[in-house]
Amino acid sequence: MATKIHLRAGEVELTLESDNPLAVSDIKDFIAQVQDLAQSLIPQSATPASHAPNAPNEAPLLIEHTSPQLHVNSVADRVGGKSASELAVAAASYLQIVSGKQSFTRKELLDTMKSATTFYSVNMGSNLSATLKSLITTRFNQVANDTYSLRSHDLIELRAKLAQ
Q: Which of 56, 53, 65 is nearest to 12 (CA)?
A: 65
Q: What is the pLDDT of residue 123?
A: 95
Residue 151: per-residue pLDDT: 94
Ranges of each domain in the chain: 3-51, 72-163
pLDDT exceeds cutoff 70 at 150: yes
CATH, domain range 72-163:
1.10.10
* pLDDT tens column, 82-127: 999 999 999 999 999 999 999 999 999 999 999 999 999 999 999 9
* Exposure letters 87-109 (e unless 16+ CB within 10 A, then b): bbbbbbbbbbbbeeeebbbeebb
